């Protein structure tokens, strides 16, 4: 039994890594792409937005597909699309075609995000789901640390094209692993009779507080994270004069905080349940957001103050991410694919809005980032207090 769970965790973890690898591995190559394609900085940055947008739309599509056709076939199809689009990115000759292929890459990769959450919901109850998802968060924490380092090495020792050939090869490896070792967890007798029926079963979820509450907590918390992700390079390097070659160490330190807390979460939920521990994470995020706003507006403690509270904010996601997913999916076993797709789509699309909102606020230093993080934390807190904390169903 334990061997089967370990094998399942390894396969799902490998598939989950495709998303952060595709998002973060090519970041060191952005200046090179700007020069090679003779494109503006904004156009090159749009390739990141294209990926997030494709990830959001793709998850909306793959959710009903997995409820209709099972988990395995849509996953294999999605990974195949990801591999082909990655190869296409390596062969792209213009920034427009590259951005379009990044969108297609995200569409394919989104299948993995949907299937991972759905399979975990198929196999485990709410508390076990939260613990297994915490292991998945380990992948989500480690990949952003290693991906830019790997991308930088490939860029220096080869070219930016190599990054996408490696991503294509990795996707094919995941296809083989999933085909050989991932068992179907959604039997035919539990599937929706048609894609239309599956989609019709998903839409009411947005009116069900059992799903809506944790989904709002989840998407707002990750909105805060994407605001940090978009603003941190400019705040750290330009405003606080952190050397560019040291930025990765600070970014990695925050990721390590997320990893540590997500693994602590596995122990906490065993005795206290995911709903209660989720509340602790929301409160920690709110405290960090208020401190960040104070530091940004007053300049108290300078860079150390901003970095310290950002560490707390990112760490709080270790208590929020897996627990919000577990609470949201627990009541909807027969619609786990669709519910998972809504969670992922809302996360990705909120990331697009939050990262763009940082640029809409005309202020200096860390203030725009702090305002967006604080707004997202407030939404997360209100959603938890009104729609999650007061829900009396067991989780």
CA 131 – CA 267 distance, rounded (Å): 8
Give residues with Cβ within 8 angstroms of 111, minimum separation 6.
Answer: 58, 62, 66, 74, 75, 77, 78, 79, 81, 82
Angle, CA of 16, 18 and 24, to the nearest 5°: 115
pLDDT of residue 41: 67
| Within-domain flag for 209 | yes
pLDDT of residue 394: 40
In this structure, what CATH number is given to the domain that contains residue 216?
1.20.1250.20
**Total domains in the fold of the chain:** 1
| Within-domain flag for 347 | yes
| Within-domain flag for 84 | yes
Range of the domain at 244: 2-388
CA 262 – CA 318 distance, rounded (Å): 4
CA 189 – CA 70 distance, rounded (Å): 10
Answer for the pair 182, 75: CB distance below 8 angstroms, yes or no. yes
CA 8 – CA 238 distance, rounded (Å): 44
pLDDT of residue 285: 98
Answer for the pair 59, 114: CB distance below 8 angstroms, yes or no. yes
**Residue 192, Cβ density class (10 Å: 0-12 exposed, 13-18 middle, ≥19 buried):** buried
| Within-domain flag for 395 | no
> What letter would DSSP give residue 331?
T
| Within-domain flag for 294 | yes
| Within-domain flag for 171 | yes
pLDDT of residue 395: 41
Answer for the pair 289, 268: CB distance below 8 angstroms, yes or no. no
CA 258 – CA 275 distance, rounded (Å): 19
| Within-domain flag for 184 | yes
pLDDT of residue 393: 43
pLDDT of residue 216: 96
CA 85 – CA 103 distance, rounded (Å): 9
> What letter would DSSP give residue 183?
P
Per residue in 201-211, is it b (16+ CB within 10 Å) or e — as a string?
A: bbeebeeeebb
Q: Got the DSSP string for 344-383? A: HHHHHHHHHHHHHHHHHS--STTHHHHHHHHHHHHHHHHH
Q: What is the pLDDT along the chain (395 residues), one digit of tens a residue?
A: 555 677 887 888 889 889 888 987 887 787 788 888 988 866 776 787 788 889 888 888 887 888 888 889 999 999 999 999 999 999 999 999 999 999 999 999 988 888 887 888 788 877 777 777 777 767 766 776 777 778 878 888 889 999 999 999 999 999 999 999 888 888 887 777 776 776 776 778 888 889 999 999 999 999 999 888 778 777 887 789 887 667 667 877 888 898 899 889 988 988 888 999 999 999 999 999 999 999 999 999 999 999 999 999 999 999 998 899 889 988 886 677 778 778 878 888 888 888 878 878 888 889 999 999 999 999 999 999 999 987 644 44
| Within-domain flag for 394 | no
**Residue 43, Cβ density class (10 Å: 0-12 exposed, 13-18 middle, ≥19 buried):** middle
pLDDT of residue 170: 96
């Amino acid at each position: 039994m334990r061997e089967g769970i370990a094998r399942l965790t390894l396969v799902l973890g490998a598939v989950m890594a495709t998303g952060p690898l595709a998002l973060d591995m090519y970041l060191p190559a952005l200046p090179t792409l700007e020069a090679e394609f003779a494109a503006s900085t904004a156009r090159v940055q749009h390739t990141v937005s294209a990926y997030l947008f494709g990830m959001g739309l793709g998850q909306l599509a793959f959710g009903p597909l997995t409820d209709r056709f099972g988990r395995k076939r849509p996953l294999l199809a999605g990974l195949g699309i990801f591999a082909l689009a990655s190869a296409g990115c390596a062969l792209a000759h213009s920034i427009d075609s590259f951005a379009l292929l990044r969108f297609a890459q995200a569409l394919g990769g989104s299948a993995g995000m949907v299937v991972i959450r759905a399979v975990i919901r198929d196999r485990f109850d709410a508390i076990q789901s939260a613990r297994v998802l915490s292991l998945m968060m380990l992948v989500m924490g480690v990949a952003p640390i290693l991906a830019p380092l790997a991308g930088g090495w490939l860029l220096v020792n080869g070219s930016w094209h190599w990054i996408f050939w490696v991503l294509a090869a990795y996707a094919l490896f995941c296809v083989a692993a999933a085909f050989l070792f991932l068992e179907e967890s959604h039997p035919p007798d539990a599937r929706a009779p048609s894609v239309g029926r599956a989609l019709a079963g998903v839409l009411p979820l947005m009116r069900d507080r059992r799903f809506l509450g944790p989904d709002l907590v989840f998407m707002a918390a990750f909105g805060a994270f994407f605001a940090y992700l978009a603003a941190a390079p400019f705040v750290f390097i330009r405003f606080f004069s952190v050397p560019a070659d040291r930025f990765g160490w600070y970014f990695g330190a925050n990721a390590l905080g997320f990893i540590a807390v997500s693994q602590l979460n596995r122990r906490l939920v065993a005795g206290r349940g995911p709903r209660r521990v989720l509340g602790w994470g929301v409160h920690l995020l709110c405290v960090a957001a208020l401190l960040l706003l104070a530091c940004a507006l007053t300049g108290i403690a300078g860079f150390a103050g901003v970095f310290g509270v950002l560490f707390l904010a990112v760490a709080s996601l270790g208590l929020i991410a897996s627990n919000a997913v577990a609470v949201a999916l627990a009541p909807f076993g027969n619609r786990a694919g669709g519910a998972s797709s809504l969670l992922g789509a809302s996360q990705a699309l909120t990331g697009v809005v939050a990262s763009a909102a940082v640029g809409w606020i005309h202020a200096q230093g860390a203030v725009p980032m702090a305002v967006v993080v604080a707004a997202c934390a407030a939404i997360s807190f209100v959603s938890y207090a009104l729609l999650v904390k007061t829900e009396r169903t067991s989780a």
